Chains A and B, each alone.
Chain A
Amino acid sequence: MMIPLFAINFLSAFSGIFKYQFMQHAFEAGTVVAIVAGIIGYLVILRRSAFATHAFAEIGFAGAAGAVLLGVSPVLGLLSASTLGGIGIAILGNRATHRDIEIGAVLAFMLGLGVLFISLYTGYATEAYSILFGEILGISWANVLLTLVISAIILVVAAFVYRPILFASLDEEVAEAKGMRTVLLGAIFMVLLAASVAIAVQVVGVLLIFALMVIPAATAVRLTKKPVYAILLSVAIALLATWAGLLIAFFEPYPVSFFITSIVFALYLMVRLLVRRQR
């Protein structure tokens, strides 16, 4: 009889936490972010864009820190800086994603700028901490709305260009010979990625961005060979980790991003060790 008892406790605890508005907001934002990150993450894996993903997060850090310094919403700074970074890389061209050295130089400089802005800002020092490691529990209703709107735009655009981007990622030369605008598609992807990173940073922070943008999709592609299934699975993993992370963090005094990262990492490890690669 232990199990039902636990289930009842679990359920009542679960409904209990929704009495708190900050938990409602965290779940709302966390849910849409997980959906977006799971989908865009699949394309990150397919296009080998993990490094660019991290770069956008760190470019976003400089933007967020600058916004804090100016007294503007850090989310706006984050979003505009990383999206500008996305447009910048897009202008440099498709191959820019493979220019690890150049991207590395830019992101190091951006982190440096971020550190400067943070040190110039004499007020509340935890701002930097929450940008770097995420602070979803304090998300405001305005930011939830902003996240919703941006996610909706990302998802609509992604659905629109889904097939061409998938094909160009798999077989760029043939796509080009078929007259597809592969450079333009790469640029659209970069901007989608930058915007997705910006909203995901709110949940897991700049430094833990891989927890939502890379690891769920990396786990999913080990379990299925069908793109649609891989995307659904990637979303499911991101959602599970986000929800469970929020739930645990409500009862435990440790950061949400730690739990999310641990859950996706444990799943990834399990799949790598236990599941034979689908061939």
Chain B
Amino acid sequence: MVKPAEVVSARGLTVGYKDKVVWKNADFSVKRGEFVAIIGPNGAGKTTMFRLLLGLLQPVSGELRVFDAKPRKGNQKIGYVPQRHTIDNETNIECIELVRLAHSGNKLGLSLSPAEEKKAAYAALEAVGATDLAHKSLASLSGGELQRVFLAEALVSGPEMLLLDEPLSNLDLKRIKDLVGLVHDVVRSRNVTAFLVAHDINPLIKYLDRVIYVANGKVASGTPEEVLTSRRLTQLYGTRVEVLKDSQGNIVIVGGAEGHHED
């Protein structure tokens, strides 16, 4: 029985593509309104987690429940921001059009209520503090501005869960801080559950309710204090790993996969 507060639960979950297992035997659960980071080295299967939650990939074995149901494609309760490095330099379309299409782009025929769609798109841009970008061209935005617009694109359909795939890569430290703060505000003010894939946990650590650590074909989950310990990570990697803390609460993970704590 899944408790009503749980929006995601996994039991003995194993995933892979064709003959290759990405990770196996994962158990974790996430409650409504939690801010969750998915951390791990490149190629460990973090994006795979999103593909599962979106119903784009079926598990090899085990059980995954999303909103107390099997994951399914086109779940309107989920807002997704895929990993994107750039937008095409030639895409000369204003931001509000993208957000508006995320609201009603799945409808057939010409729009009968453009004013309403625009209002919804503006509201979403307002929620991420990006109304000033509404009429700017997508191709002209900086990395941080683009991530704000993508977040608005995800929020416009009023989701209960956000999946953000590496929104922080290619951003400088200040923009990272701004964006993490923004996601945290959205999570708290709308009681939305957010999953955020990242390489570096430090900018996130003070906001997080839960960490899902993916490495070495295994998944560890819990509060940051539970997971980010030398003992748990050594267990996860199967090799000696040391978690060091500085005076500010920043952590450095030594050992395990090479360079996974860096961007």
Contacts and interface: CB of A to CB of B under 8 A. Distances in A.
Contacts of A160: 108-109
A173 B82 contact: yes
A48 B111 CA distance: 25
Contacts of A102: none
Nearest to B101: A167
A175 to B, nearest CB: 7
Contacts of A168: 105
Interface in A31-85: 45-46, 48
B93 interface: yes
A177 B101 contact: no
A180 interface: yes
Contacts of A48: 88
Given A174-B80, A176-B56, A179-B74, A221 B92 contact: yes
B115 interface: no
B110 A159 contact: yes
A277 interface: yes
B137 A278 contact: yes
B137 A167 contact: no
B36 interface: no
B63 interface: no
Contacts of B81: 174
B106 A178 contact: yes
B74 A171 contact: no
B93 A180 contact: no
A177 B56 contact: yes
Nearest to A180: B106
B92 A225 contact: yes
B91 interface: yes
B229 interface: no
B105 A177 contact: no
A161 to B, nearest CB: 7
Interface string B23-64: 000000000000000000000000000000010100000000
A278 B92 contact: yes
B136 to A, nearest CB: 6
Which one of A171, A177, A222 has the greatest number of beta carbons of chain B within 10 Å? A177
A235 to B, nearest CB: 15
Interface in B57-90: 72-76, 78, 80-82, 84, 88, 90
A167 B102 contact: yes
Interface in B129-185: 135-137, 139-140, 153-154, 157
